[in-house]
A = this chain, B = another copy of it.
Amino acid sequence: MKILELASTPSARRVGIFLAELGIEVPREQLNLRAGDNLTPEFKSKSVNGRIPVLALDDGNYICESVAICRYFDALHPSRQSLFGNTPLEQAQVEMWNRVLELNGLMVAFQGFRNLSGIFKDRERVVEPWGVECRQRLLEFLPSLEARLNGRDFVAIDRFSIADITGFVLIGFLPRLDIELTDTMPNIRRWYAAVAERPSTNQGL
């Protein structure tokens, strides 16, 4: 098997950190998105959503969507410390926080960046006022993450989970939208610094 990706992208980082937490190494092939490696009919036949990363399995199946790739490896390597949670309550809390951080955080940040920067305007229509709106919604979302982390070391449950990975990648993406973590967000800063010290995130991914 191998993963088709571009290591510097947030989605590839999510998968890379997840695999590093599990101690799993998977061969990776780097694509050049600016050159349109992900726009070819061949790539589109592999990736349902047309995006990276894509996991190419030895049986000929392809899995796109970062979290789907993570679930594949989680199911392949059952653990009493699953990054998706173990008990029904843990699983629900991890799914909830991971989704909240995606739907109100990471996806909003991506839409904001793409519509404000026009980085992909050669391949998608851009609506700048929506970029402005997304950036504002992100600013309005961050206080709820700050509140959640008050007195907590991890976002979703009492140990590291995929929700912490999603949140870490989100916070790392904020400079692209000219958003700085200020002194008004001490909990996010403390938590972010702690996650940045983990071997999984601390390897120049």
Q: List the B residue with the shortest CB-CB distance to A55.
A: B92
Interface of A: prevailing SS: helix
**Which A residues from 115 to 153 make CB contacts under 8 A with B?**
125, 127, 129-130, 133, 136, 144, 148
Chain B residues whose C-beta falls within 8 Å of the C-beta of A93 in the assembled complex: 61, 63, 68
Chain B residues whose C-beta falls within 8 Å of the C-beta of A125 in the assembled complex: 133, 136
**Which A residues from 75 to 122 make CB contacts under 8 A with B?**
75-76, 87-89, 91-93, 95-97, 99-100, 103-104, 107
Known: A100-B48, A100-B49. A89 touches B57 (CB 8 A): yes
Chain B residues whose C-beta falls within 8 Å of the C-beta of A76 in the assembled complex: 88
Known: A75-B88, A76-B88. A95 touches B67 (CB 8 A): yes
| A69 within 8 Å of B (CB atoms) | yes
Chain B residues whose C-beta falls within 8 Å of the C-beta of A48 in the assembled complex: 96-97, 100, 144, 148
B95 & A65 in contact (Cβ 8 Å cutoff): yes
How many A residues have CB within 8 A of the partner chain?
Answer: 39
Known: A48-B144, A127-B133. A71 touches B91 (CB 8 A): yes
> Complex formed: what's the CA distance from A87 to B74 in Å?
11
A100 & B65 in contact (Cβ 8 Å cutoff): yes
Q: List 17 A-B contacts (CB under 8 A).
A: A48-B144, A49-B103, A59-B89, A61-B93, A63-B93, A63-B96, A64-B96, A64-B100, A65-B95, A68-B93, A68-B95, A71-B88, A71-B91, A72-B91, A75-B87, A127-B133, A130-B130
